[in-house]
Structures are given as C-alpha cells and as structure tokens.
C-alpha cells in the first residue's frame, strides 16, 4: 500500500498493492496496521455505500464539529470523479478543490480528512461507491456547498445541465455563504 500526497495538506490518494494471477486479483482495501505504518491513525466507525446512474452528481457535503467526518472513498464498480474542497479557514488552500478519477479498475482511494466538503460525479453507466467514516452521521450538523459554485470552478467531467442532482443539493449555498465551522 502506498500514499500519494496531493497539493492540499492531509488530502491523500491511497493505492493498494494488488496481487493478480489467472484467477483474478486480491488486495487489502483497508488495514488499520498498514495505515498506521503510513502515519494515518483513524478509527473508522461506519461504512456507507451508494449506487448511482451515469450523470449523477452527489455533493458537496460535510458535517460540522463535533461530528466532522474523515472519509476513505473507493469505487466497487464503475468510475467517478471524486472531489474534495478544503473548508479549513486557517489553511493556505482554503476554498481550493481537488479531484481524482476513482474506479473499480484503478482501485485508488481518496482519504478526505475532517474539514473538507466531498462529492462525486458518475462517469460510467453505473457506479457503486463505498466510503468509510470515522464519525457517525448526524443530520443536525450536516452542511454543504453548491456543486456549481463559480468560485470553485470544478470540472465534474459531466454536463451540469444534464446532471442528475438531488433537490437538496440544488439549493445548497456557495462556499462564501456556507455554515462551515472549520
């Protein structure tokens, strides 16, 4: 397992070591010991899974303290553009976004620490996404940023005019008006 740092502090891509042969492949998608050996000490408490159709856009979501979540995102089937936005007001990359292609083929994962908004768009016909969280979901502490915030200028890899977006996500505020407590 190896870690690829991004230009945003604490936001990393995790690449598992894949063992393949004529039967297929095997890899550890998560090992507490291996993560700790890489300097990542997180106690995951909840797994979430979603299934989405092509053109679906979910996000950008976060939870405020004390229910802020670190997430480890991976794709079980399909292909997505995964996006994280730094909401840590004291960070030099506050308001900056990072995106990465995650797929069942490349097996990469994105570790999104507390203090970030997260979302993804589906590029394949369908996608199943699994993410581990270090804090339980709490509706009273959730927040979000509108996916088409012009100050973020995120390339979701899909047509935003045709995107499948929840009513809830369509009315989220831009980053300048979000209720982030980070």
Catalytic annotation, pick one of 25, 62, 118, 131: 131
Asked about 62 being catalytic, the answer comes back as: no
Helix (H, G, I), strand (E, B) or coil at 168: helix
Q: Give the DSSP per-residue string, 88-101.
A: -TTSTTTT-EEEEE
Q: Give the DSSP per-residue string, 9-35.
A: TT-EEEE---EEETTEEE--S--HHHH
Q: Give the DSSP per-residue string, 106-148.
A: T--EEEE-TTEEEEEEE-SSEEEEEEEESS---GGGEEE--TT
DSSP bridge partners of 81: 101, 121
Tokens 């980053």 identify what position? 175
Asked about 61 being catalytic, the answer comes back as: yes
Catalytic annotation, pick one of 7, 25, 30, 61: 61
By annotation, the residues acting in catalysis are: 61, 131
């Amino acid at each position: 397992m190896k870690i690829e740092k991004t230009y945003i502090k604490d936001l990393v891509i995790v690449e598992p070591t894949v063992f393949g042969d004529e039967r297929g492949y095997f890899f550890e998608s998560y090992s507490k010991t291996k993560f700790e050996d890489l300097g990542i000490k997180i106690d995951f408490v909840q797994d979430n899974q979603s299934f989405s159709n092509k053109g679906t856009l979910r996000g950008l979501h976060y939870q405020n303290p004390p229910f802020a979540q670190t997430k480890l995102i991976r794709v079980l089937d399909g292909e997505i553009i995964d996006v994280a936005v730094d909401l840590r007001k004291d960070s030099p990359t506050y308001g900056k976004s990072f995106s990465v292609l995650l797929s069942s083929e490349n097996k990469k994962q994105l570790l999104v620490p507390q203090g970030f908004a997260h979302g993804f768009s589906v590029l394949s016909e369908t996608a199943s996404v699994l993410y581990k969280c270090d804090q339980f979901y709490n509706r009273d502490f959730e927040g979000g940023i509108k996916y088409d915030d012009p100050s973020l200028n995120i390339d979701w890899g899909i047509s935003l005019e045709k995107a499948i977006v929840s009513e809830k996500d369509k009315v989220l505020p831009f980053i300048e008006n979000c209720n982030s407590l980070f």
